[in-house]
Each structure stands twice: as structure tokens, then as C-alpha cells.
Structure 1
Amino acid sequence: MNYEKITGTFPSADKSCDVAYYIYTPLEHAPKAVLQISHGMCEYIERYEREGFISDMTARGYVVCGCDHLGHGKTAPTEDERGYFAEYETLADNQKLLYEIMRKTYRRLPYILFGHSMGSFVARDYMIRYGSTLDGVVLCGTSGTSKQPIGFGLFLTSLLERLRGDRYRSSMVENLSNRGRNDNWKNERDKLSWLTDDKERRDRYRSDQLCTFIFTVRAYNRLMRLLQFISSDEWYEAVPKSLPVLIMSGALDPIGDSGNGAQEVYGKLCDMELSDVRIKVYENGRHELLNSSIRDRVIADLDEWATDIIEGVREKNLLGAEFFRRFM
């Protein structure tokens, strides 16, 4: 193992529970940056450890950290708590609380937020509320404007919440949410084929009780509200112009409309004249690029981009120090 692992908890921003967090410090390299993971729907940070991403990044000199979102992982230790959160804003607020914990130890390291899938939605909320804390953001497996009728979904989940309670789990809502995801792989006879082309990783996912729960109607409602917000002109106009952004998507990812959603986000961010926005769309890539047959290339591309960001931060710091030396 090439890292030291530290675990802990902090009170959630909404005071609803304690949030579990994890810090992985490289043992073989001096830390060069902090990479904070905002994980996806129905997964958790230690899955990134199990599937090898964390060791891949610590081997490259990154301090990796992350917290289990509300309703996920060890933040939600009981079945009743899994798949529930009251307000989507709290997810980004908790990411900020973890950032503050990390900055107590790593005050000067470049800081990058990596968001996958739902976690990329949370990262996008974070960008406009706390973007000044970051040196770069990676949006992996993100989505453009929803092709499904969000208005109907909001109505249905609100109605079910009033009738059955906010922790009700609806198989109808779940099926509507998953509709069409696996259309490209019906011949594989595996409803999780859309996730990755790696069958062993799919099997580990399906056997993991921390990945196979159903979202409550309240959480689905708030997730749809979040997607609606980050697809709005208001969101695009609020993104800090100087914040570097990397968008990564599989060309066959149904969450990202087969790469079209990622291209939409990229195009709109370019229209907002961000100083540094880049995109990587991987041919034959499905939703979970980090758990696919092309994961080595994806991780190498991520590291190459992050190295550019790190060099940019270093140059900016040197210029600032030189200015201070000459004029102060």
C-alpha cells in the first residue's frame, strides 16, 4: 500500500448526522496537490479505494480525500438513512467543510475537486458558491440539459412525498430514472452494462449493498432540482471565469447523452469565456471511466491536466513572491 489512510467524521452542515471522511496521503512521494473526490449516486469514497483509483493517484503524488455524501456510505450506516438527504445544497456545503479540514494541514498545495456523475452535479454547485477555494475542477460523467421531463419528475416526487412521506422509495420513480440507460447493450443481458465494460467491476457493484439501494422520493426531487439549476443560464453565468475546468465523458455514457451532454457543458462554458476549459470524450467509453478498460489512459490524462494546473499555481506563486520582493 503506497498511502497512509486516515478516517474521521464531522457534523454535517445541516446538523442531521456525522459525515464520514477519508484522507489518503502518499508514502512514496512528497505531496504535490490535494485531489478531493465528490463521489456519484449510490456509491461511496472507499469504493474508489477498492477499485484502485486512490492508489493510482497517491502513487503520482496526490493527497486524495473525500467524504461520503448524505445518504451514502458510512455517513448513512442504516438502510433507512441510505438514499436520503433533505436539501441538495448541503452536499456542497459538506464538501466545503472537508476542504476546511484539509487546509489545516495542506495550506499551500494546489487544490482540485474531482466530481463524478451526481458528484459532478455537486461539484458544479460548489463551483459557483465556493469556487475561489479551488485551483481546478474535474467534471467526470456529468450531464447537460436533461432529455427527460424534469417538471413531471418534480411533480411526481413531490406528490409521492406528500402522500407517502419524504423517505418513501418508489420503484416507479426508480424505473423512470433508469429508463433507457442500457439500450445500447441489451445483447449483454446485464442491466448494469451502461456503467462499465468491465464485468468483474459490475459484479462487485451489484453485490455491494452500499451501491444497490433506492433513492427516497425526497432525494430524487432534490437531485432533479440540482440538475435543473446547474443547467440554467444563471449557473453558467456564475461560474468563476478564472477557474480551470476539465470535462471527461464516455462517448457512450447515457448519463451524458453519449457525450453530447459533456459537449453542451463545454460549449456553454466556452461561451462564458472561461480562461481554461478543456474536454476529453473517450470513444466507446461508458459511464464509469475510472472503472473501465481504458482507465489507465483516463488517469494519465487526468494527471497530465492536473500537472498543468499545478505548474500554473506554482508560476503564479513565484510571480506573487517576486512582486512582493520588489515593491513591498
Structure 2
Amino acid sequence: DHLAGSLNRAGYTVYADDHRGHGVTGVNQIANGQTKKMGNLGTGGIKAAFEQVHDLTKLIKSENPGKKLVLFGHSYGSFISQKLINQYSTEYDAAILSGSSLLVPGVLGAGGFNKKWDKEPNATGYEWLSRDKKVGEAFAADPLTFLADAAKVMGVPNAIQLFFTPNRKIRKDLPLLIQAGSDDPIGAERGNQMLANTYRNKSGLENVTAIIYHDGRHEMYNEINKQEVIHDLLTFIGENVA
């Protein structure tokens, strides 16, 4: 909410969705007998999950004709955003990826996210999210959150489809911002710099900015330096989306 509020105060309208299997949408899918547990994607699997987010793009454009549109994706949402950028880059005026990675085996974190902090006194299992302990506490207390292996909740065929890389069809003048913490077990500095370089060198993007925050963890917008991160976001949008 604080991120959306910062964007609203800067004059931007914010749309957000529950991805399939997540949040209230996930709860409703279970209640309706469409899935068995949180994280399950239901009929159509990962392809339907991608396309439903693209449906949101079409809805936003229909409700805001003539307005510029910035795509923002965090974590799993950033993986969906990478797919949308591959297929529909002309529909966005800029894109932002947070808590992301180059989506290839051996680079993308694949579990054991809290391993680095598990031996700390009073470790909760949520230290990987943020250096702010309240963030982990809020995650643990939220009935709509869950921790699970992607292959187990999505199914192996769907999880495999999360492995892909930026292609050469992306429009070259798409402004792209990548923000990540150096201690984020999803991609860390290596995975995000590799992602940025792939967009530059393979896709040929002319305007790629990668900001790696020293000692930051997965949820940079909930980190102890979140105001710096939000400032960098607003600066990028202001400079690239006139």
C-alpha cells in the first residue's frame, strides 16, 4: 500500500492484480473447486496466468485511452512481466522488474531462500524477505501468503515454463529498470546483472538501468532503505515516461 500511495501522490494511477493461485483469487479458486491449494494455477496453467495479466493490460488501456502505461512486476510477478515484455513490448511505455533474475537453471534461486540466515538467533524463516523484522512478521501473520516450491504447487510442466530468456523481438527503445538487493536469494546481484546484460546484448535494448542495493534482500520496497528505492523508481518513471 505504501508503494501505491507514493505513486498516487506523484500523480500516477496504480492497478494491481492477484495472480492465479495467489491472494483472494487463490482463495476463491479453492472455494470454487478450481484448485486444491494456494499456488495451484488451475485450468490453462502458466500460459493462462500470463494471459490473464495481459488481460489486465487491455483493461487498463481501455479505461485510460491515450495515457502512458508502465509495467511493474515483483518476484513471480516479474517473471510474468518478462514474458509480457517478450510478447507485447509495444503495449508498454516502460517496464520495471523488482526482485527478479535471469530465468535459467543455476542462476534463478530454487528454494532454501532463508539458508543464509537460518542459524541466526531467533531466526523465523522469513529473514530473506527484508532486514526489517516487521516485514517477516507481517508475512507470517497474513493468511493469504504461503511458502512453497514452485514445482510442487504449480506442477513440474508449469514450473519448467518459468525458464526462458529475453528475446530479440522486444522493441529496442523500451526503457527498463531492474531493482534488486544484493542478498536477494531469488537472483541477487549476479542474476539481475545477467538479466540486464541479456536485455542489452541479446535483445538490443538501448535504455536499461540496473540498480543493485548493497545488503538488500528480496522485498526492496519493504526494506530499511525503501524510501531510496521508491525515489529511484519515481526518478526513472519521471525521466522516461513524459
Determine which of 5, 16, 27 is the counterpart of 1:77.
Answer: 27
RMSD, matched Cα: 2.1
Please give the alpha-carbon distance, in whole angstroms, between the structure 1 residues aligned to 2:92 and 2:19. Answer: 19
Indicate yes or no: 2:67 matched with 1:109: yes
Cα 1:222–1:93, aligned 2, differ >3 Å: closer, same or farther? same
Determine which of 227, 230, 237 is the counterpart of 2:168.
Answer: 237
Checking the alignment, whether the CA contact within 8 Å between 1:82 and 1:213 is kept in structure 2 is no
Indicate yes or no: 2:106 matched with 1:147: yes
**TM-score when normalising by structure 2:** 0.87
State the SS of the aligned residue for 1:249: strand
Checking the alignment, whether the CA contact within 8 Å between 1:92 and 1:126 is kept in structure 2 is yes
Please give the alpha-carbon distance, in whole angstroms, between the structure 1 residues aligned to 2:155 and 2:236. Answer: 33
Aligned to 2:6: 56
Indicate yes or no: 2:148 matched with 1:190: no
Q: Deviations over 1:119-163 (max 9, x none)?
A: 111000001111111001111111123327x9xxxxxxxxxxxxx
State the SS of the aligned residue for 2:13: strand
Determine which of 29, 46, 53 is the counterpart of 1:88.
Answer: 46
Aligned to 2:207: 276
Q: Which amino acid aligns with 1:83?
A: G
Would you tell me which structure has more strand in proportion to its own residues? 1
Checking the alignment, whether the CA contact within 8 Å between 2:94 and 2:241 is kept in structure 1 is no
Aligned to 2:142: 208
Using the TM superposition, name which of 281-290 and 216-225 deviates more.
216-225
Choose between structure 1 and 2 for higher RCO, CA contacts under 8 A separated by at least 6 residues.
2
Cα 1:245–1:220, aligned 2, differ >3 Å: closer, same or farther? farther
Point out where structure 1 has 5 or more consecutive residues left out of the alignment: 1-48, 151-175, 312-328
Deviation at 1:216, TM superposition (A): 6.9
Q: Deviations over 1:71-114 (max 9, x none)?
A: 11121225535211142122221122112211222112211011
Q: How does 1:255-270 map to 2 (within 5 A)?
A: 255-256=186-187, 258-270=188-200
Q: Which amino acid aligns with 1:219?
A: M
Please give the alpha-carbon distance, in whole angstroms, between the structure 2 residues aligned to 1:195 and 1:271. Answer: 30
Point out where structure 2 has 5 or more consecutive residues left out of the alignment: 31-35
Q: Which amino acid aligns with 2:4?
A: I
Please give the alpha-carbon distance, in whole angstroms, between the structure 2 residues aligned to 1:222 and 1:65. Answer: 30
Deviation at 1:244, TM superposition (A): 1.4
Checking the alignment, whether the CA contact within 8 Å between 2:151 and 2:158 is kept in structure 1 is no
Q: Deviations over 1:199-224 (max 9, x none)?
A: 11211101112102646736142553
State the SS of the aligned residue for 1:65: coil
Structure with bigger gyration radius: 1
Would you tell me which structure has more helix in proportion to its own residues? 1
Cα 1:222–1:303, aligned 2, differ >3 Å: closer, same or farther? farther
Please give the alpha-carbon distance, in whole angstroms, between the structure 1 residues aligned to 2:176 and 2:158. Answer: 22
Q: How many residues align?
A: 229
Cα 1:146–1:191, aligned 2, differ >3 Å: closer, same or farther? same
Please give the alpha-carbon distance, in whole angstroms, between the structure 2 residues aligned to 1:196 and 1:226. Answer: 28
Please give the alpha-carbon distance, in whole angstroms, between the structure 1 residues aligned to 2:158 and 2:232. Answer: 29
Determine which of 228, 232, 235 is the counterpart of 2:163.
Answer: 228
Q: Which amino acid aligns with 1:107?
A: P
Identity over aligned pairs, percent: 26
**TM-score when normalising by structure 1:** 0.65
